[in-house]
Amino acid sequence: MSSTDHPLGTPPDEAETLLTARRPAYLHFLVRDPFALASAIWLLLIVLFATLGPLLLGDAATDMNLRARNLPLGSIENSWLGILGYDPLGRSVLARCIVATQTTIGIAAAAALAALTIGTIVGLYAGYTGGRTGRVIMQLSDIVQSFPSLLLALFVLYMLEPQPLNIVLVLAFGQIPIYLRVARAEVLELRERLFVDAARVLGAKPRQILARHIGPLVLPVVINIVTIDFALIMLSESSLSFLGLGVQSPSITWGVLVAQGREYLQSAWWISFFPGLMIMLTTLSINLLANWLRRVRDPRERWRFDRARHTGRRR
């Protein structure tokens, strides 16, 4: 009797949980995972720093106070900004870390976006047309990928000026092959599908097929990659800045701040420690959150969260 009521043979409440489980309740899962929650909160803070930091603390980051030279952690007699100590010119390390967020995130985001756009478009084209052009494009991307990106960036920035635009382009250039490869692989699979044939038969031009029919399906895949890639680009940028070929003063990024503190390692370790910690925590948060998102989205992994919700029930 129950089988006629419920064709799937499952009781109504179970069927309901199955249906609701299909759309993950992100916030609910986020609160359950302490690492992911901490990462999300930290990244929110970073976004806040990047948008409001220079506005609120721009002056505090450049104000010199020679009486506060190299004061250690917890020097909060004058202001709470001294909690992470002062640099050799008496500037607050905390304020400088916060203000540097905007440039650091801005450069990495611009480079990631540029790589995503160029890589995806070229990858779509290479995958759809195939043939000799496609092969040449892949060969070129192989060359770029088989070469250490930092070395390439040093080589280029050595010849061009280390201006923000050049830095963004150089950082993006090394990452293009990743998107190109993924986009191409997706297109190779998608272009054999029926809906693409249908569009072709109806007279759509290749550009229309790519932009309207294939592109929207490739986009989520590359967006998945861009989160992790953003963290990678941020690391590269900080290495470049540390070596002196990143942004030039008076602009500051976290990498520049670490480099500035290097000379004072023996007397004032906090100057380079905290900017570096910002880099690590941000990269780590992005990776943790991306991992968490993958687990939540993947139905084969999601049961782990579900089991935590309905204790004792096994799937």
Partner 1 sequence: MQYYVVSRLAQSFISLIGLVILVFFMIRMTGNPADLYLPDDVSAAARQAFIELHRLDDPIILQFGRFIGDLVHLDLGTSIRQGRSAAVIVLEAYPTSLALAAISMSIALVLAILLGVWAAVRPTGVVDRTISVLSLAGASAPNFWVALTLISIFAVGLQLVPTSGIGGWDHWILPVAVLVLRPLGLLSQVVREAVIRSLSAPYIRTARSKGAPDRSILYVHALRNASLPILTMAGNQAVAFINGSVVIETIFGFPGVGKLIIDAIVQRDFAVVQAAVIITATVIFLLNIVIDLLYALLDPRIRHS
Nearest to partner 1 of 15, 154 (CB atom): 154
Nearest to partner 1 of 35, 195 (CB atom): 35
Q: How far apart are CA 110 and CA 104, in angstroms?
A: 10
Amino acid code (one letter) for 148: P
Least Å distance, CB 33 to partner 1, is 10
Nearest to partner 1 of 196, 258 (CB atom): 258
Least Å distance, CB 88 to partner 1, is 16
Nearest to partner 1 of 210, 290 (CB atom): 290
Least Å distance, CB 53 to partner 1, is 20
Q: Which two tokens stand for residue 34?
A: 């302490």
The answer to whether the beta carbons of residues 176 and 137 sit under 8 Å apart is no
Residue 86: strand pairing partners: 92
Give the CA radius of gyration of the chain: 25
Q: How far apart are CA 24 and CA 18, in angstroms?
A: 11
Least Å distance, CB 298 to partner 1, is 13
Least Å distance, CB 182 to partner 1, is 15
Residue 92: strand pairing partners: 86
Q: How far apart are CA 13 and CA 96, in angstroms?
A: 55
Maximum pairwise Cα distance, the chain: 86
Binding site for partner 1 (CB under 8 A): 35, 139-140, 142-143, 146-151, 154-156, 158-160, 231, 235-236, 238-239, 242-243, 245, 255, 258, 261-262, 265-266, 269, 272-273, 275-277, 279-280, 283-284, 287-288, 291, 304
Collapsed DSSP state (helix, strand, coil) of residue 173 = helix
The answer to whether the beta carbons of residues 246 and 162 sit under 8 Å apart is yes
72 prior amide bond cis, ω within 30:
no
Give the 3-state secondary structure of 26-69. Answer: HHHHHHHCHHHHHHHHHHHHHHHHHHHHHHHHHHHHHCCCHHHC
Nearest to partner 1 of 16, 142 (CB atom): 142
Least Å distance, CB 7 to partner 1, is 31
The answer to whether the beta carbons of residues 55 and 308 sit under 8 Å apart is no
Least Å distance, CB 142 to partner 1, is 5
Least Å distance, CB 201 to partner 1, is 36
Nearest to partner 1 of 86, 242 (CB atom): 242
Nearest to partner 1 of 76, 165 (CB atom): 165
Q: Which two tokens stand for residue 295?
A: 């687990």
Closest Cα to residue 92, out of 118, 139, 60?
60
Q: How far apart are CA 116 and CA 226, in angstroms?
A: 7
Nearest to partner 1 of 195, 303 (CB atom): 303
